[in-house]
Amino acid sequence: MPRNDRGRAPDLVLELALHNDGIAIIAGIDEAGRGAWAGPVVAAAVVLPLERSDLKSELDGVRDSKLLSAHQRGHWAGKIREIASTIGVGQATTEEIDTLGLISATRTAMARAIHELDPSPDHLLIDHILLPESELPQTALPRGDAIVLSIAAASIIAKVTRDTIMIELDERYPGYGFPQHKGYGTSVHREALAALGPAPVHRRSFTPIAALLSRTAAPT
């Protein structure tokens, strides 16, 4: 069902429609870090208690994580964890991204997040991509994190979790600026790569990293 997401908050229209059709447990799923040059892809699955009449008002500031500041994401991640019926988080490592490919690794992270849900969901609402290996009924929605509240909630949990991982990786691999850019291809990250070369957590299948490795391996 096409919807215009511009200027509107994510809502519960789709979740409640499914719930009214007798589907009890509906999970919103999203990922963080797919476009980064370093670190894992992290996925989150969130089931909201649709029977709560105050659910929308309690989560009225939840948005696509990309629209929120780090402080706002931290606040709403705590609120989501307090309210959600169940939350699952999964990740795919840098090695899995390089071996499986980015889309397959993202699906692996999502499958791991779903596996962590208790109880298991009856239907999946996923931002953008389908999970063909899952037997669960599912709906993929372009810009789902902007229009569906449970997907927006999952986007926040995934982003906050991944940001924490990247900050922790800075202790093992200092000098790259991971706490600032979280592994994305900023100018600071490029300069660090040029000076230090790739760390073990850099994605060697990504063109910028592969090109750097190719230059350093070339005979002088």
- pLDDT by 10s per residue, the chain, length 220: 334 444 579 999 999 999 999 999 999 999 999 999 999 999 999 999 999 999 999 999 999 999 999 999 999 999 999 999 999 999 999 999 999 999 999 999 999 999 999 999 999 999 999 999 999 999 999 999 999 999 999 999 999 999 999 999 999 999 999 999 999 999 999 999 999 999 999 999 999 999 988 876 545 4
CATH number at residue 100: 3.30.420.10
Residue 8 is assigned to a structural domain of this protein: no
Residue 95 is assigned to a structural domain of this protein: yes
How far apart CA 189 and CA 197 sit, in angstroms, is 11
Place of tokens 């780090």: 70
Residue 76 is assigned to a structural domain of this protein: yes
Nearest of 34, 38, 64 to residue 157 by alpha carbon: 64
pLDDT value for 1: 32
pLDDT value for 206: 96
Residue 185 is assigned to a structural domain of this protein: no
Q: Which domain holds residue 149?
A: 13-174
Residue 181 is assigned to a structural domain of this protein: no
Sheet holding 41-47, edge to edge: 86-92, 41-47, 26-32, 123-127, 138-141
Structure tokens at 133: 């290996």
Residue 193 is assigned to a structural domain of this protein: no
pLDDT value for 136: 97
Residue 219 is assigned to a structural domain of this protein: no
pLDDT value for 7: 53
| DSSP codes, 118-158 | SSPPSEEEEES---TT--S-EEEETTHHHHBHHHHHHHHHH
pLDDT value for 214: 86
Question: How many domains are contained in the chain?
Answer: 1
Does residue 42 sit in helix, strand or coil?
Answer: strand
Nearest of 47, 30, 191, 182 to residue 119 by alpha carbon: 47
Question: Angle at the Cα of 24 (from 18 to 28), degrees rounded to 5?
Answer: 65
pLDDT value for 8: 78
Residue 208 is assigned to a structural domain of this protein: no
